[in-house]
Structure 1
């Protein structure tokens, strides 16, 4: 059976999408799903505020769940990333729809949108809890797809 792919998008691929990717992959393995996640950033230039490979907030939340993230730096989204995905989810519609419309207009309406605020609007604990909930709901949807 072909391994299916979900692609999580956020602005910098440093915090929200990275947490969603690692959380999804952890839960998908436990559930025995033939789904795996990857994540990418829609901004073409990294934020000077993003220091290191992954946000300390995402890293702490993953550590709290005994999940060891892949060691890599943020990656900018390409058309190949989008085309390789079976599902594409952007973490915040109000932020990411415009990025998609500008960089990948054919993907703007082929992407699902969540509503998870970045750290400038939401406390990290609240955003992480929301991503956790949404990933668990997505795992259930993927289980239904496996049937």
Structure 2
């Protein structure tokens, strides 16, 4: 079986996407699975910066690696080398769609949103199978609720404007989604074998 590859993408690559990268790496290492796992941002605003100190604190407390990270911006060439691109929000999803359109179909990665793998979501995108309103905090971020029109799943809220508990919620959302991503990577590797 060949090794699958995934890139997680958020805005600046200092909170959500790098958290997903580190959680999945940890999960794969524990399970003895190999895959290429990395992360990027749609913006170059944070390029070269380490993990946000608040996110690093939450990751370290949960036993995840926080060293050796410099934020990077996603590129068309990078996407063409991945089997799967996972967006954190509908905005990131749309930005990745525009980049993927520049890649020949046979080289284009599959594009998904992280919360498509969240087992807490019902088919309508609400949590726990019930309709839920977006709970606005900080800069209009919603913790739950239905997906934005045209998006396959709800956003992973940006903790950057929030408090430590927002970073913890981001980690929790990513952790519950990682088993589904792992299964999907196995399926992609088998398909390309």
Q: What TM-score do the two structures reach when normalised by structure 1? A: 0.80
Separation (CA, whole Å) in 1 of partners of 2:113 and 2:167: 19
Pairwise mapping of residues 75-114 of structure 1 onto structure 2 (< 5 A)? 75-93=72-90, 95-102=91-98, 104=99, 106=101, 110-114=110-114
Q: Distance in 2 between matches of 1:101 and 1:146?
A: 22
Unaligned runs of 5+ in 2: 103-107, 115-154
Higher RCO by CA contacts (8 Å cutoff, separation 6 or greater): 1
**Does the Cα contact within 8 Å between 1:40 and 1:75 map onto a contact in 2?**
yes
C-alpha change, 1:68 and 1:129, in structure 2 (3 Å) is same
| Equivalence for 2:169 | 126
Pick the structure with greater CA Rg: 2
Alpha-carbon RMSD: 2.8
The number of residues matched between the two structures is: 142
Q: Give the Cα–Cα distance (whole angstroms) in 1 for the partners of residues 4 and 111 of structure 2.
A: 16
Flag the structure with higher helix content.
1
- Alpha-carbon spacing, 1:109–1:66, altered in 2? closer, same or farther (3 Å): closer
CA distance in 2, matches of 1:74, 1:16: 11
Q: Please, what TM-score do these two structures have when normalized by structure 2?
A: 0.63
- Residue 37 of structure 1 and its aligned partner are, at CA, apart by 0.9
